Structure 1
Amino acid sequence: MFRFVLKRFASAVPTLFVVITISFFLMRLAPGGPFNLERPLPPQIMENMKRVYHLDDPLWQQYLTYMGNLLRGDFGPSYIYRDFTVRELMLQNLPYSLKLGSIALLIAVLGGVLLGTIAALRQNSLIDVMIMAVANFGVTAPNFVVGPVLTLILALTFSLLPAGGWGDGSIHFLLLPVITLALPEVAVFARLMRGSMLEALRADHIRTARAYGLPNRVLVVAHAMRAGILPVITYLGPAAAQLLTGSAVVETIFTIPGVGQFFVKGALDRDYTLVMATVVLVSVFIVIFNLVVDLLYAFLDPRVRHD
């Protein structure tokens, strides 16, 4: 198992290298720059700004400089937030996204697995239809619609919850953004779990166990769910990376000071280093959670073994 983990981390290095390289050159080759304002700066000031940030160097030299700094954990200065380095911005704002995303991920996994299992056990019943209808709504309804609607109903109309802000970080302040962030993932997990559970319940070994009189609760929990949850585990990797690194839309709607806002704002303002840091962060999370998914596969499926 230890060798497998080392091999996965070793294979992830070239992947991260390719992603960072492509992102670096795409950002640099896109039209515009971090100092292209509506009112252009005087040429002399523009030249000084580029010289300070080494943007007047050849592109290959900028790339080598950036990669060298990145290996030392230096993401460089922010071109927009002049008083902060990108590393300081990430360290300051990432905990907000991690807390929000962790709660949303927990709700998404538990809620999706539970609803999908109930729907599969009650196939074609009214409960099944209602759960799938809610799941379809969760998949199709964008969070920039769900968020304001929930705010209008629960915050502005009935004054049950705050309309936005982090507050003291309690669930009272986070409930609305968590629901908005988790709802699409709950829907996806529920649909995946329902389909895989229906297939698992029709498997030959499940039928044999039922014929031998195994209690239905043991049959579902110990056997069917263990096989049926595998597609959910597969989707868990990218879903966890997305939720834990923040959603720009949700964080903007509810004024959450997370890192999700930096990706959109950095791209619009051509803040190269800020966007690159977000790309690196998401890539690392995906690699880590895909490794966790592989380890969970080995635990849940006895046919999978990692040497």
Structure 2
Amino acid sequence: MEALLAPFAHDFMREALLIGSLVATACALLSCYIVLKGWSLLGDAIAHAVLPGVVIASALGFPIAIGAFAAGMACALSAGFVQSHSRVKEDAALGVVFTGMFAAGLVMLAFLTTEAHITHILFGNILGIEAEDFWQTLAVGGAVLAVLAVKGRDLVLFCFDAGHARSIGLNVSALRYLFLALLSAAVVAGVQAVGVILVVALLITPGCIGYLLSDRFGRMAAIAAGSALLSNAAGIVLSFHFNVSPAGSIVLVLSGLFALALVFAPQHGLLAARRRISSAG
């Protein structure tokens, strides 16, 4: 216990735990909707597409959160426009748009004078987060959780059966744009913690863990949030003791939990499937 608690004697480690926990919870809850809706590529796309927004905002002296949010929404809306006005399907449109935007961000870094460091953008800087970014991330993550608390039931219905949601009077288009906004906001928060590359893991893996371990959405969300919080705390402790990337440690622990769920899940794990095949034979 002494070794586990030793890192949190430092202020920057306690701040990292707080910010990481908030971001992990927000992303984990959204990951449940993403997995149910089959929008995993959308989370990946928005996470990468925020790069040009971050670079432009930093070069102009604006808050990074504003640029990242605008770029994330632009990616989702542009992909939707391409899909609606051409023969290109949604997944292909997302692939074209987000890779183009990510490449544009990399090129911009060579021509624009910016304080944004490419390493911090790509892999986060949770142990050295600035005070301004700390409060921005806290506000954005808190806002995502607050909206989910109010509109979560409507979003669940939208993800399960958009047709039924429309038939009972819900505005499906508004819910779609709300979800896109929440996803972009979660990516904004995640950029400060684990960067634009590894935030994809927080937006997909916890939901997959919950999906393997439960058939009820409430329990799935609780498992997803719990696995994300555990991975955040364990990853930060491991990064302190072994002097490795905290973002990499967090995602590595999360991936390990997914591997355990994949093998040992009582109903949907590989061992359970083998037992069913053996008993049937």
Structure 2 length as normaliser, TM-score?
Answer: 0.31
Query: Based on CA coordinates, which of the two structures has the bigger radius of gyration?
Result: 1
Structure 1 length as normaliser, TM-score?
Answer: 0.29
